[in-house]
Amino acid sequence: MSKIKPAKGSPYARILGVGGYRPIRVVPNEVILETIDSSDEWIRSRSGIATRHWASPEETVAAMSVEASGKALADAGVAPEQIGAVIVSTVSHFKQTPAVATEIAHRIGAVKPAAFDISAGCAGFGYGLTLAKGMVVEGSAEYVLVIGVERLSDLTDLEDRATAFLFGDGAGAVVVGPSAEPAIGPTVWGSEGDKSDTIKQTVPWDEFRTNDTAEKFPAITQEGQAVFRWAVFEMAKVAQQALDAAGITADDLDVFIPHQANMRIIDSMVKTLKLPEHVTVARDVETTGNTSAASIPLAMERLLATGAAKSGDTALVIGFGAGLVYAATVVTLP
């Protein structure tokens, strides 16, 4: 018989607070058109994006995360000293080590929390949320800070007509803590590595370092049509599986918060899932662009701040992207 004592966590976990940070600079499509042969109409029709935010040198991955985290902590009514773990999802922090999570934890005033980064692209927030839920239920942390943050302007090829207009910068954070009732459903997550080349960094860091003829800094590139088809058809199935796992139907939903990749993808998923008209759909991509791991918490924060969604609403969240990876779950909004 095992001598290990059972965990003493909470029976359930929930999102207690959310915060977001968008860089001060707003970049309209007209700026993008200075480096690609296109039009505002074409960009809007292809992606639904009108503007995005780009960070200044001072708005680092850590700085944006600290701002978003402070808002999330205040919203949750949780003190920094109560945070037992900090999880950061990002692909745009350029220091391989140490994890930026350790710097963020120190700057917000957390006291010796577990702190680590994860790389799961646009599904990273869902991955972090799932890990946080497990920590709270298992008892290794009472409160967990989950951050999605990106400075994708650093990884954007402004001469690539297929991607130059897509990406933005920002940070979103949530505090996950104990709950007396289920408030974060089972996660449906996975990967399809055979499609990993459809979204990728153009040149590996080591090749860029050793290639004297490299003219461009590494950037993110993607096969747009392949990604679009995968997202629309396969991710709608994953979203439905998350509803099934939570024991609800589309009629029970109040809010749908998909990864803000592209307005056409969002609208197609709404149609495929046959979401009722009463369901509020996040379309933050129009003014924020694709912020990868930050897109879901940023969209969640905006819906709550504007009153488009309210505390206690039932929301389906799904992230999907490079890898190809995905994660979907049903949550109760803070």
Phi, psi of 258 (to 5 degrees): -85, 165
Q: For the chain, how are helix, strand and coil distributed in percent, rounded to 5? A: 40, 25, 35
The residue whose two tokens read 């934890």 is 105
Q: What angle do CA 298, 72, 286 make, to 5 degrees?
A: 10
Q: What is the distance between the alpha carbons of residues 235 and 293, in angstroms, rounded to a whole number?
A: 16
Does the annotation mark 122 as catalytic? yes
How far apart, in whole angstroms, are the C-alpha atoms of residue 276 and residue 92?
36
Pairing of strands 51-54, 25-28: antiparallel
Edge to edge, what strands does the sheet with 169-179 contain? Answer: 12-21, 169-179, 143-151, 83-89, 114-118
Rounded Cα distance between 75 and 73, Å, is 5
Q: How many CB atoms sit inside 10 A of residue 98's CB?
A: 11
Cα distances (Å, whole numbers) of residue 277 to 128, 238, 281: 30, 21, 9
Catalytic site residue 29? Answer: no
**53, 122, 211, 278: the active-site residue:** 122
Nearest one of 75, 101, 89, 84 to 15, comparing CA atoms = 75
Question: Could you tell me which of 281, 292, 218, 222 has the C-alpha nearest to residue 253?
Answer: 281
The sign of the CA dihedral 110, 87, 203, 320 is negative
- Structural tokens at position 327: 């994660």
Contact between 275 and 281 under an 8 Å Cβ cutoff? The reply is: yes
Q: Known catalytic residues?
A: 122, 259, 290
